[in-house]
Structures are given as structure tokens and as C-alpha cells.
Amino acid sequence: MGASLLSFSNFSRATIKKTKRINAETGEVVEDEDVHNFANFCGRVSIQPANLVNMKKASNSQDASSLVVHGFRPMKFLPITNLMSKTTIALANDSRVSGSEKALYNLKLSMIKKDVFAVGEMLTRASTTSKMVALVPKNDGFGGFLITQLPYKEDTRKVLP
């Protein structure tokens, strides 16, 4: 069983924060590399902070901010009750990627015609884990999509009628 830690923060004149972690039982200073996070995998498993960063990187299919489309589903399978967060709007930017406006517009028209939405993986920052998202075509004159986070199976629960 791990010992409880006390944290003390000192600020110098240049406002540089220095934190000391002290073992509450022995009074010894605990170094950063000796501090571990724990996860429950059939019992407590120790995870060092450096390994936690590597796990987040490995869980992403891309190293930089990205949006990857994995497939398409009929619109009737879009779980309106399970949407997880705020909706984001994705628009083409022809000044950065030539031809993107025409490509997204044609993709949107095709998706509306077939009555489908796209399922994809979105990574907003390299330091976070990717999220499963739905790309729903906006029904307007522009080539935009609504992007909303979808839950994983373990994030949902049955609701009684």
C-alpha cells in the first residue's frame, strides 16, 4: 500500500513553481520518478507518468491533430440520445488544401443522397487520446459537417422504457 504524500509549493521571485512531495509517514522527500498513477485492471496496477504519456500516444492512430474517417452508417443508427459533447463544425479550407472545398461538398451531397453519416476518429491534440466521432452532413449550401463525439460501448447504459 502506498504512503500518503504531502505537497508543498514554493514560488521564487521569478514566479517559478517548485513542488516538493514529502512522505507523510517518514518525512522523506519523494522524487518525481517515484510517483506513480494507478489503474484498476483486475487489481491495482502501477503506471509511471512517462508510461502514461506513451499509452496515450499508442492509443491514437495518428501522431498529429487529425480526423480519420473509418466508414459510413445509415442515419437511422445515429444515437441521438448518446451524443457526448458539444458539436463542432468542419468546413473546407481551399487556401490550405487546394480542392478541399469541392471534395467536401461532393462528399456531403453523396452522404445526403445515401442518407448516411461517417464514423471516424478525431485527435485534437497530440497529448490527448483520440475520440470516436460522427460526421453528419449539414443540410445547407456549404460543404460543412457537424462533428459530435460518440460513446464507446462501455460508456452507454440501458434505459428502461
For the chain, give the mean pLDDT. Answer: 76
CA–CA dist 89, 99 (Å, integer): 19
25 Rama class: left (phi>0) / alpha (psi -120 to 50) / beta: alpha
Grid coordinates 473546407 are at which residue?
92
98-129 pLDDT, tens digit per residue, is 888 888 888 888 899 999 999 888 888 766 77
The whole-number pLDDT of residue 116 equals 92
Q: Above pLDDT 70, what percent of the chain?
A: 61
pTM: 0.57
Q: Point out which residues pair with 10 in neighbouring strands.
A: 18
C-beta of residue 35 within 8 angstroms of C-beta of residue 51: no
Q: Point out which residues pair with 46 in neighbouring strands.
A: 38
5 pLDDT above the threshold of 80 = no
The whole-number pLDDT of residue 1 equals 47
